[in-house]
Structure 1
Amino acid sequence: MNKGVLMVIALLASSSALAQAPMGAAPYVQVDRVTTGKDKVTRRSIGRTEAIRTVRVSSAVEGFLMEPRFKEGAVVNKGDILFEIDPIRYKAAVQQAEASLDELNARIMHASARCRRLQSLQESHATSREETETARALLAELTASKAEAEANLVKARKDLADCTIRAEITGRIGRVSFTEGNYITTGEVLATIQQMDPIYVKFPLSQSDVNGIFHGPKRIADVARPQLTTATGRSYPKDGVIRIVDTALAANTDSYNLWAEFENKDDVLTPQGIGALTITLTDTAIVTMVPLTSVQYDANGAFVYVLDQDNRVQRREVIAGNVQGRMQSIYSGLEEGEVVISDGSHKTRVGSVVRPVFTSNAETKTVKGNTMPQEDAPTAVRIADVIMESDTTVLTCEGSQVEAIRKVDIRPLVQGLLIEQSVNDGDVVKKGDVIFRIDTVRYEAAVNAEKARIEQLDIRIEDARRKYERQEQLVKGGASSADERDSAKATLDQLIAQKSSAEAALVVAEDDLSRCTMRAPLDSRIGRVSIAQGNYITDKKTPLTTLYQTSPIYVRFSLSENEVLSHFGSDSQLLKMADISLVTANGKLSAEKGEVSFSDNSIKSDTDTQNFWATFPNAEQQLLPGAVVTIRVSRKPECKVCSVPPEAILTDTRGRYVFLYRDGRAVLTRILCGSSTASGRIPVYAGLDADDRVITTNLADLEDGSPVVAQQPEQQQQ
């Protein structure tokens, strides 16, 4: 048969088919009617944790910092002593202020007695009015000076009290900025305390949601229940309470910022961590419901295809709510009884006519007003026990930084010629070793002058005391007046006050003399010496050198929030469970093991990582501040984790999950897991308990809540 004949036959067949099927026949689509049901209306948002209160601990006075009273990373209570500034000069200042006030009181007593005596003499015309007025003016001047002296005493006592620095709040204290032996100036921040329990989560919520669903900013706290999902994907066990709604919308977002408060007794949440908020309306709402397959999404959000009375397809944008089994709650956009396409929408377009086929009533049943498919027959599955094993997963932290635990700047604090330099750059010194010495001649002279002044005052005090005692006897015998006695007493009190002031000045002079000799406040290594012997020191606060404690030593490393929570549960648990090893810059594994000492109080929001400090003995002082090393973090062998067979684990866009076997049902459970253990099983850090059992077969046939029947459990190797 030639090609022409074949072509004719094909054309005839095509014409016959077209004659039998009308052009543009409407396609069949599966449809369902919109029903109603009960639902908890929810909204979701992404938030960050914030400390409710943050206090930067600073000094209100300057002086040498004494040993801190806490461990870095510890929880401190309100009122606890944190730091002390050397109080010696402030005690002397109080003594001098008290002495000045005592001296003024004595002078006022003397001036009062003189005024009374002159007033009496003036009445008998034995003295001039001018002399009396001069005495009164002096008394008034002294009385005014007393107010100033009292104010100076209040300030001196406050300065002395400020030498003891206490915690203003209860919270966790972080890394100290300055260690013992440093000279602190006024206002320098020494450490930061953050309140960790309870804790805030700050999150945005649209104006329409706040005003529409949750009844406005004033009522949202009463009708909304916030729930938190951490960075690991796990639900936080405690619900929160909305405490604050911002007074204005955030710029360019049409949203309110809100703050929800959560209990945080186990330190799972760390400031600046990220989390997902689900905000649920506490009142149950009646909502419309459609099959899950009806709801589609694009860049504008959720939508469905609705049929009008002529079976013409319309697109309808909706606000989708919660999923209930195979049904989807719709918060707005649909009315009960409307018809939506649940399957076959790909065969249509907006405005086209379709032929609807309703879901058969025989295949469906109604549960509390919601249309749900009938339950399938149980699926036969095998199950395996969750067992506890040691975890061999290692987290590698490259770029970790070596830091001195203590660093002290050596400042002269007195002026003079630098006559002795006992160290060179890089020397190792012991606590108490002399490092520098400034010429002491002027300072020794100042000490001797104050001592001589005190000796002179002692002589004058003894003479004044004899005169006062003689006046006492004369007054008793009627040979002298009370004013004369009071004047003698005032002179004695004035000299005693001057001696007290001189003793305080001696303390300051002796402290200046002691500052001429600078000693190492700790076993350490000398840094670069900035001013050499022979120079005249004028700037008292410029460091001459810096001392670094190198044994033991810190190494600072960072882990992501997800790594901390998934592998250890919280930063406080990491401190107990982590096994720390170190690899030097040349790739050599150190024989020394480290211990995690403390963590940063907050997560760095730009990297979502948290800093930790591990302490290494550094007995050979191979590690020096500023070096870059690699830290390896694993769980201690005794800190076991749940493990499951690898075939039990499934993955979707939200992460990994397993099906648990519970009461004849498959229960979908989200997990966080690592790489395989020595036995080949997979460690699970979150989501499972030791007595759980997981399904290992026919997983593709299961969904959350599917009925299952267990076959013989697999044998476990303990």
Structure 2
Amino acid sequence: MRALDTMEVANVFEDKCRSSVSRPEKPTAGHGCRLHAPGRPPSRSGARFAVCLGLILICTGCNRGAEDPKAAAQKGQAAPLPVTVITVEPQTLPVTWEVIGQTQGTREVEVRPRVTGILLERLYTEGSFVKRGTALFRIDPLPFQTALEQIRGIVGQAEAELARTEQDVARLQPLYADNAVSKKELDNAVSAMQSARANLFSARAQYKTAQIDVGYTSIAAPISGVTSRAAVSEGSLVNAMETLLTRIFQVDPLWVTFSFASKDYSQIQSEIAAGRIELPPERKFTVELQRQTGEFYGRTGRLDFQDTSVDPKTGTIQARARFPNPDAEILPGAFVRMRIRGAVRPHAILIPQRAMLQGPGGQSVYVLTESGKADLRPIVTGQTRGENIIVVEGLKAGERLIVDGVVRLRPGVPVQAVPAPAADAGKPAAPGTAPPQKGAPEPPNRKR
């Protein structure tokens, strides 16, 4: 037979008592019903009811007394808190720097007139691609042609004077040999001949200059590239070497200039020296260009220059990337975003940011010890990568990191490990999709 608990015993006694009360006594023959007079003892049914009531109270008190020690024992032994953990695993992570730069042509030329005159016509379409030597503007050539004809006459006179003086010298030389003329007369003739020859040289130089000026009335493109708008209109007076007519940009290849702080450069050098960053072979970084629309340019570039000094005014270092641009898809003057790839972080530890605590003493995480308790561990962090962050110091490979439930924990509290989901944030993003890191790249091979 199974043992009855306290409540079952109490219920049985209560049922019996109620049945005794509800069953009336049989009257004695000839006397009828009895009534209890005041001060007389109660009947047996009343005594039974009192006994049953007492037993119920005693059993109930015993039941409560039996439950209290058990509840006290449960309160004294706290159950381990369930937490989500991941195993710390070093991995090789790509390093990406993001910078903002401005596009510019590899050659940018300002087209200015080389002679002063009236601009007659514009011979090109603004914004079009032109080849070197293509005529762009024409200045009124008539004044220069007239000057050329005038100087041509001066050259003729100089040639005639030289011929006359040469004849005089040729005539006086035999006479001087026969002592028919003096030495002075011959010397004067020779001097006149030399002066006439010098005048001829000067006249010919003026004539050549006039020819050049006539040629300068037709203004041609000095390089091949994309033209800008015309700065002056036809009929305007343009001054030699002063008036800006237009600009030409050589956009293939295209340059993108940018700058980065010298502090970032020093930090990267320190990480390279510590072995936390490895550079690509021959320091050939790959540069991706993002258009203003958010799309990436279809061709990649290379870093080809870095300045050897820091700008004292801004505290930055200038650098440049080079992109092929055969179809002139990217125009000069635009601000673009670039991602510099190629370096990696070997043996990097990446953890979810939600596992990290921020306190007065800095950043820390909870690590699950071998004894099943939470251990508070201070850490030093590096760059962020989306929802994750790189831990530089404080964690080792193989340790179990608590990532969820850290707010409820205290150092030394017993915890129960629950494996993290397969898609937890402890793993890096796919190559090419990881959020970039702002900073400066390691300098490429400098051009001397």
Give the TM interval when normalised to the shorter protein: 0.5 to 0.7
Query: Residue in 1 aligned with 2:419?
Result: 360
Going from structure 1 to structure 2, the CA distance change for 1:175 and 1:365 (only over 3 Å counts) comes to closer
| Identity of matched residues, % | 23
Query: Residue in 2 aligned with 1:455?
Result: none
CA distance in 2 between partners of 1:185 and 1:292 (Å): 67
- Equivalent pair of 2:355/2:406 in contact (CA under 8 Å): no
Question: For residue 346 of structure 2, what is the amino acid of its counterpart?
Answer: I
CA distance in 2 between partners of 1:57 and 1:151 (Å): 26
Going from structure 1 to structure 2, the CA distance change for 1:123 and 1:43 (only over 3 Å counts) comes to same
Say whether 1:207 aligns with 2:207.
Answer: no
- Aligned-pair distance for 1:329? 7.3
Query: Residue in 1 aligned with 2:109?
Result: 55
Query: Residue in 2 aligned with 1:654?
Result: none
Q: 1:267-311 CA deviation, whole Å, 9 max, x = no partner? A: 4423232222111116x653424343457699xxx9663649785
Query: Residue in 2 aligned with 1:236?
Result: 297
- Aligned-pair distance for 1:124? 1.3
Normalising to structure 2: TM-score of the pair?
0.65
Query: Residue in 1 aligned with 2:153?
Result: 99
CA distance in 2 between partners of 1:340 and 1:58 (Å): 69
- Equivalent pair of 1:308/1:314 in contact (CA under 8 Å): no
Going from structure 1 to structure 2, the CA distance change for 1:176 and 1:196 (only over 3 Å counts) comes to same
Question: For residue 288 of structure 2, what is the amino acid of its counterpart?
Answer: Q
Query: Residue in 1 aligned with 2:437?
Result: none
- Equivalent pair of 1:307/1:314 in contact (CA under 8 Å): yes
Say whether 1:111 aligns with 2:165.
Answer: yes
CA distance in 1 between partners of 2:174 and 2:105 (Å): 72
Note the aligned Cα RMSD (angstroms): 4.0
- Aligned-pair distance for 1:229? 1.8
- Aligned-pair distance for 1:19? 10
- Equivalent pair of 1:304/1:315 in contact (CA under 8 Å): yes
- Equivalent pair of 2:368/2:402 in contact (CA under 8 Å): no
Q: 1:44-90 CA deviation, whole Å, 9 max, x = no partner? A: 22222222221111101011212211111211122111011111122
- Aligned-pair distance for 1:220? 8.9
- Equivalent pair of 2:95/2:341 in contact (CA under 8 Å): yes
Going from structure 1 to structure 2, the CA distance change for 1:130 and 1:87 (only over 3 Å counts) comes to same
Say whether 1:87 aligns with 2:145.
Answer: no
Question: For residue 48 of structure 1, what is the amino acid of its counterpart?
Answer: Q
Say whether 1:305 aligns with 2:365.
Answer: yes
Going from structure 1 to structure 2, the CA distance change for 1:214 and 1:268 (only over 3 Å counts) comes to farther
Query: Residue in 2 aligned with 1:180?
Result: 234
Q: 1:216-261 CA deviation, whole Å, 9 max, x = no partner? A: 9x98984311112222222222211112212222446654322112
Query: Residue in 2 aligned with 1:662?
Result: none
Secondary structure, aligned partner of 2:133: coil
Structure with the larger RCO, 1 or 2 (CA within 8 Å, 6+ apart): 2
CA distance in 2 between partners of 1:219 and 1:248 (Å): 23
Secondary structure, aligned partner of 2:297: coil
- Equivalent pair of 2:355/2:404 in contact (CA under 8 Å): no
Alignment of 1:19-58 (within 5 A): 20=75, 29-58=83-112
Going from structure 1 to structure 2, the CA distance change for 1:85 and 1:58 (only over 3 Å counts) comes to same
Query: Residue in 2 aligned with 1:292?
Result: 352
CA distance in 2 between partners of 1:360 and 1:50 (Å): 53
Greater Rg over alpha carbons, structure: 2
Secondary structure, aligned partner of 1:175: coil
Query: Residue in 1 aligned with 2:189?
Result: 135
Secondary structure, aligned partner of 2:223: coil
Alignment of 1:206-285 (within 5 A): 206-208=264-266, 211=269, 222-251=283-312, 255-281=316-342
CA distance in 2 between partners of 1:290 and 1:150 (Å): 80
Query: Residue in 2 aligned with 1:336?
Result: 397
Say whether 1:73 aligns with 2:118.
Answer: no
- Equivalent pair of 1:313/1:354 in contact (CA under 8 Å): no
Question: For residue 259 of structure 2, what is the amino acid of its counterpart?
Answer: P
- Aligned-pair distance for 1:155? 2.0
Secondary structure, aligned partner of 1:100: helix
Q: Structure 2: which 5+ residue stretches go unaligned?
A: 1-67, 434-448
CA distance in 2 between partners of 1:331 and 1:226 (Å): 26
- Equivalent pair of 1:227/1:277 in contact (CA under 8 Å): yes
Normalising to structure 1: TM-score of the pair?
0.42
Question: For residue 176 of structure 1, what is the amino acid of its counterpart?
Answer: A
